[in-house]
Structure formats: structure tokens, C-alpha cells
């Protein structure tokens, strides 16, 4: 994982996954150094990642007070239980639905859970984090938040985009892409991650988009996008177009067989 600062209060723990035919998907977690420190998501659930070690390079895990789980998909929960063990005072911020989903694999200890719904706030000692439902999401338990003190919006999967290189996915900035490249990548991600957006009432969808517009964040931090600084208006324009974007259609079995046939037994392209 790559770590880098965004502003004075936030550290990005940047990771990525290479998805053939799509690109390099950023997978970020974040540390908010409030009076009561907040870790936002806990990385990928794959064997070769050590989220706790990466976090230890930023702060002592024992000092973490809150683990804001934006939703319980496996690309957000990789280091969750190790962090709970290392941070005995930390509580997991999630929803009733989020905790329920977690029980299908490994239940959360309920005395360590803090239920928070969109529209509510979390007091972390020197600020109150405002919980909201992002306009695009792939899990019903999704809750992001806005930190008015830093003017940073933590948007979970919303505004995500595959990147052309691993380096950009892990340690770049969203404005490293040309505007037209970023728009195409964000629309692709919207149709992959939130395909339901193409069957919703655009007017009702627009109400949720306007919620983020009204926040007017200076910085947007998405799990699946490099940090986006002073780009909010342009990105809101993009996701407003999502209901009319071309649907994503993944490879079928014939395409998979062609792909497998192109590889030698050693795993290299023939």
C-alpha cells in the first residue's frame, strides 16, 4: 500500500486491483486525525495485504477510536478484525443492515458497534462528521460522510474510476487524467458498480446528487478514485449523466474461453 497526505488531517492508504478489460481499480482506505482518530475502511480482503502494518506506518493502531465502515463489501473490510483486536477502544461505525450483512461471514462484536444512519452525525471530539447516502453505491449499507472542518467528502464507491496504471491508482490524483478521460472512466465505473442507476427516475436521482452539490466539498475522497481536489463540480456533472450512459456488458463464457486459450500453462500470454 502507498501512503500520502491530503491536506493536514487525512492520510490515504492507497492500494489497487488490476481488472482485465477494465483497468487498475483504486482501493483506498483513509485515516482522519481528529481528536478521536477515525479509520475509514480497512482495505482489500486478499491474503498478501497487511492493512494493519500499513496503518502502523501512519499511527499507532491502539489509538484508533472509530472505524467508519462505509459498507461491508470485501474490498472495504480486509483488516477490520485485526484492527479491532489492535485497537481495544475502537468502535465500528455502520448501519443495522451493514452489521447484518457482516454476520454472513464473521459477525461483528455488537458491543464494539455504533449504528449511524444517513442524516445523523458522529462527534469525534473536535468535529462532527455528517453521515449521508452517496448518490451512487453498490451496497444498501453504504454511508459516506462530510467533514465540514476540512471540507472533505468521503464518498465510498461514488465517483470511482478505473485508472490506466497501477501507479496512478495507488498514489496519483484524479486530475492526472485529462477531463475527458476521467469522465469516461467514471461513467464506466458507474455502470459497472451501480447498474441500477440506468433504471431510476432521473429527477429523484438528481435529488441525491444535489445533496453532494450542496455540500460543495473542496476535496472528494472515494474508495475507488485517487484524491480529487477542487474537481467536485465537474465530477457531479459526470455522475448526473450516469442514467443515460451505455450499459456495461461483461465478457461471456466464449470470451472467457478465448482469454484462457491465449495463456500458456505457465500463465503467460501465448
Per-residue pLDDT of 127-137, as tens digits, reads 999 999 999 99
In this prediction, residue 20 has a pLDDT band, given cuts at 50, 70 and 90, of confident
CA 94 to chain centre: 14
DSSP single-letter state for residue 48: T
CA distances in angstroms from 8 to 31, 117, 152, 167, listed in the order given: 11, 27, 11, 23
Among the residue ranges 70-79, 81-90, 127-136, 252-261, the one predicted with the least confidence is 252-261
Tell me the three state secondary structure of residue 30: strand
Query: Distance (Å, rounded) from C-alpha 124 to C-alpha 145?
Result: 13
pLDDT at 263 (0 to 100)? 76
In this prediction, residue 192 has a pLDDT band, given cuts at 50, 70 and 90, of very high
pLDDT at 270 over 60: no
Strands, sheet with 144-147, edge to edge from the N-terminal-most edge strand: 121-123, 128-132, 144-147, 152-156, 219-222, 228-229
pLDDT at 266 over 90: no
Residue percentage of the chain with pLDDT more than 90: 91
pLDDT at 265 (0 to 100)? 65
Average pLDDT of the chain to the nearest whole number? 95
Which residues fall within 8 angstroms of residue 256, CB to CB, at 6 or more apart? Answer: none
Per-residue pLDDT of 94-153, as tens digits, reads 999 999 999 998 999 999 999 999 999 999 999 999 999 999 999 999 999 999 999 999
> Is 59 within 8 Å of 117 (Cβ atoms)?
no
Task: Tell me what the mean pLDDT of segment 228-240 comes to.
Answer: 97
pLDDT at 3 (0 to 100)? 94
Query: Distance (Å, rounded) from C-alpha 12 to C-alpha 14?
Result: 6
Q: Which cell numbers in the block locate residue 247?
A: 450499459
DSSP single-letter state for residue 262: T
Per-residue pLDDT of 212-228, as tens digits, reads 999 999 999 999 999 99
Per-residue pLDDT of 150-165, as tens digits, reads 999 999 999 999 999 9
- Burial category of 126 from C-beta neighbours within 10 Å (exposed 0-12, middle 13-18, buried 19 and up): exposed
pLDDT at 232 over 80: yes
Which domains are assigned to the chain?
2-261 (3.60.15.10)
pLDDT at 269 over 80: no
Q: Which cell numbers in the block locate residue 50?
A: 497487511
In this prediction, residue 204 has a pLDDT band, given cuts at 50, 70 and 90, of very high
Tell me the three state secondary structure of residue 91: strand
Amino acid at each position: 500500500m502507498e501512503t500520502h497526505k491530503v491536506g493536514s488531517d487525512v492520510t490515504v492508504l492507497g492500494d489497487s486491483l488490476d481488472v482485465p478489460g477494465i483497468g487498475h481499480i483504486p482501493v483506498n482506505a483513509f485515516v482522519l486525525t481528529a481528536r478521536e482518530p477515525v479509520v475509514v475502511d480497512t482495505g482489500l480482503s486478499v491474503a498478501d495485504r497487511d492493512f494493519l502494518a500499513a496503518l502502523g506506518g501512519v499511527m499507532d493502531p491502539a489509538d484508533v477510536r472509530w472505524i467508519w465502515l462505509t459498507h461491508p463489501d470485501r474490498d472495504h473490510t480486509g483488516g477490520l478484525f485485526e484492527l479491532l483486536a489492535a485497537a481495544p477502544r475502537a468502535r465500528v461505525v455502520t448501519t443495522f443492515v451493514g452489521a447484518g450483512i457482516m454476520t454472513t461471514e464473521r459477525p461483528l462484536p455488537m458491543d464494539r458497534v455504533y449504528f449511524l444512519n444517513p442524516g445523523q452525525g458522529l462527534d469525534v471530539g473536535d468535529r462532527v462528521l455528517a453521515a449521508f447516502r452517496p448518490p451512487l453505491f453498490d451496497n444498501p449499507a453504504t454511508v459516506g460522510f462530510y467533514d465540514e472542518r476540512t471540507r472533505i467528502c468521503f464518498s465510498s464507491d461514488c465517483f470511482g474510476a478505473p485508472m490506466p496504471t497501477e501507479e496512478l491508482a495507488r498514489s496519483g490524483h484524479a486530475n492526472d487524467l485529462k477531463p475527458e478521460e476521467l469522465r469516461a472512466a467514471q461513467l464506466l465505473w458507474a455502470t459497472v458498480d451501480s447498474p441500477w442507476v440506468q433504471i431510476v427516475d432521473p429527477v429523484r436521482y438528481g435529488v441525491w446528487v444535489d445533496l453532494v452539490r450542496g455540500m460543495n466539498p473542496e476535496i472528494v475522497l472515494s474508495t475507488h478514485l485517487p484524491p480529487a481536489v477542487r474537481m467536485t463540480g465537474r465530477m457531479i456533472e459526470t455522475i448526473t449523466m450516469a442514467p443515460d450512459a451505455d450499459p456495461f456488458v461483461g465478457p461471456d463464457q466464449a470470451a472467457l474461453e478465448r482469454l484462457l486459450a491465449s495463456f500458456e500453462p505457465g500463465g503467460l500470454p501465448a
